[in-house]
Amino acid sequence: MNLQLGVLFALTSAFLWGSTTVIARVFVRTRGGMTLNILRLLISAPIYLLLLFFYGIPPMSMDSLVIIIFSSLGGFVLGDYFFFSAMKVMGVSRSALIVTLYPVWVIVLGYLWLGREITVHMLLGVAIILTAIILISFKREEIEFRFLGVIYALLAQLLWALAVVATDWLLGDMPVLQVTGLRVIAGASMILLILPWKVNEIKVLQGKELFFVALIALLGTVAAQYTFTLAIDLAGSGIASPVSETSPLLATLLAKIFLKEKVSGRLFLAVVLVVIGVGILMI
């Protein structure tokens, strides 16, 4: 039951991230990804501070504190920075295509670091899901990859994987809410170092833009990070990561539904593959 519930929470995260991705793409096009990253963390951190005020912070070792900082730095700060840099160098589609493989790193690192089991059905499910995501990410007209962009994207996927496995390790001693909240708060604290260089860009944001940023923070960071951490706790990082990686597919599907566009054969096949892949992971 825990496995199925964990997959459900991972799909919830994917849905939330897919929804906010549609909004974020518009914002990033005009204002920049780093500004969005700064604001979403600065909005999310006070919410988790309030929650931790009521629920408390459990005792933690120095190792746990270091891992919290490390996972937050890799996941929220450096990982996102390198991904935004990759998008700037070679575009969204090509960058997303490369970082799609980060769940593979999660499985390998989980095995090496935490001793997590790697099963045949896990590998099969992950392979089918990644095939589905690659189907919608790969475009023939965008097959040119720039070396610097590839390096940025590879660094992003490795840092994200390390952050996920570190989170998995933290959940061995700490509750889900506290792990999620402390990671977001640590990320916001570190992102303050970048804030002075982005103040002028933030000052000119309009009310509508700030509303959308707040929506991205509430859904994509506060809610989705919590459900994703729950998924890791219940199903393990090796299953939660590939399931949550379906967010690009869900974003594409949502865009098609709300814009009333025709669903292509490739998208339909990708949806079928994801359903099969998730079903295999739930066995």
Say what the pTM is: 0.87
- pLDDT tens, position by position, 133-174: 777 666 654 445 677 878 888 898 899 999 999 999 999 889
For 74, the domain range is 2-281
* Listed residue (138, 70, 136, 129) closest to 102, CA to CA: 129
Kindly give, in sequence order, each residue whose CB lies less than 8 Å from that of residue 195, ignoring residues fewer than 6 positions away.
38, 42
- pLDDT tens, position by position, 61-92: 889 999 999 999 888 888 877 887 777 777 66
> How many domains does the chain contain in total?
1
For residue 48, the model assigns a pLDDT of 95
Query: How far is residue 220's CA from residue 226's CA, in Å, rounded to a whole number?
Result: 10
The predicted model gives 176-195 an average pLDDT of 91
Report DSSP letters for 35-55, one per residue. HHHHHHHHHHHHHHHHHHHHH
Number of Cβ within a 10 Å radius of residue 72: 26
The predicted model gives 243-266 an average pLDDT of 71
For residue 1, the model assigns a pLDDT of 57
The predicted model gives 49-57 an average pLDDT of 91
Query: How far is residue 178's CA from residue 180's CA, in Å, rounded to a whole number?
Result: 5
Length of the chain: 283
Confidence of residue 180 (pLDDT cuts 50, 70, 90): very high
Query: How far is residue 186's CA from residue 166's CA, in Å, rounded to a whole number?
Result: 14
For residue 258, the model assigns a pLDDT of 66
CA distances from 67 to 72, 73, 186 (A): 8, 10, 11
Least confident interval from 9-13, 40-44, 73-77, 160-164: 73-77
Query: How far is residue 135's CA from residue 28's CA, in Å, rounded to a whole number?
Result: 24
The predicted model gives 40-51 an average pLDDT of 93
CA distances from 18 to 94, 123, 135, 216, 244 (A): 17, 24, 16, 11, 10
Query: Is the model's pLDDT at 282 over the cut of 80?
Result: no
- pLDDT tens, position by position, 157-166: 899 999 999 9
- H or E, element range at 262: none
* Listed residue (125, 160, 165) closest to 277, CA to CA: 125
- pLDDT tens, position by position, 194-249: 777 777 777 777 777 788 888 889 998 999 999 999 999 998 998 898 888 887 77
- pLDDT tens, position by position, 95-113: 777 777 888 889 889 999 9
